[in-house]
Amino acid sequence: MTAPDTSHNPHEDPIQDSPPDAPAKAETAHAPAGKTPRSARTEALIAVLLLAGSALLGVLAGFLWHWLAPKVPLYADSSAVYLKDPEGEQAIGADGTFAIIGAGAGLVAATAAYWLTRRRQGGVTVALGLAAGGLLGGYLAMKLGTALGPGGNVIATAKSVPTGSTFYGPLKLTAKGVLLTWPAAAMVVLIGLTALFTPKPQTPPTVWQTPAQDGPDTP
């Protein structure tokens, strides 16, 4: 009589089977690696768009500064060039006009950047892009406004007009610190909008429990 075959069958060994959740873990481990390049591209795209938008806004600001800023009136005789209004504040007014235009440009840039990136969580890239874009836009506005204004060679301009006639000096910034008005205003507006409209993370309420009282010892 033949005894039943009780030899071990390796195909029926449950130890050899891979755990069912192994593929899911492997996919989870590789998932974050695929998102990193896309996130970096998004950050770079946000920075480029902010710089490009600030440059265009700077061109508009340069035209506005040339149009709105007061000009310094001059006149000349055969020996020298003089201020027509020695006590005038046209030079200071040009700086103030540039500062106001820069503050308005910073307000517009920060508002547009926040509302366009708030769902994508632009983060520090938006702040850095606004700061760099503000400096770039202010520089372009200064250069364009100066180029559109009267020529910088006052002596040549005085010789080209009749003696004693009024002409205007070049449009320029006497205080270069006003270039910081644009990025400073953009940072203030961005911080304010973030504080007002960004949802705050919800923290679970703390539940206080009274420790259980031990009963009296029984003899």
Residue 85 — very low, low, confident or very high, per pLDDT cuts 50/70/90?
A: confident
pLDDT tens digit string along 92-129? 999 999 999 999 999 999 999 998 887 666 578 899 99
Tokens 């503050």 found at: 103
Alpha-carbon span 29 to 36, nearest angstrom: 13
- Mean pLDDT over 162-182 rounds to 88
Question: The dihedral of CA 56, 143, 173, 88: what is its sign?
Answer: negative
Q: Kindly give the residue spans of alpha helices, DSSP state H, lying in the chain.
A: 22-68, 90-117, 124-148, 154-160, 181-197
Residue 145 pLDDT > 80: yes
pLDDT tens digit string along 26-76? 444 444 444 344 477 888 888 899 999 999 999 999 999 999 999 888 888
Does residue 70 contact residue 93 with C-beta atoms inside 8 Å?
yes
Residue 14 pLDDT > 70: no
Does residue 153 contact residue 73 with C-beta atoms inside 8 Å?
no
Tokens of 10: 């390796």
> Distance of CA 123 to CAs 20, 110, 120, 192, Å?
39, 13, 9, 14
Query: What does residue 109 show for φ and ψ, rounded to 5 degrees?
Result: -65, -45
Starting at the earlier edge strand, list the strands of the sheet with 81-83.
81-83, 73-76, 167-168
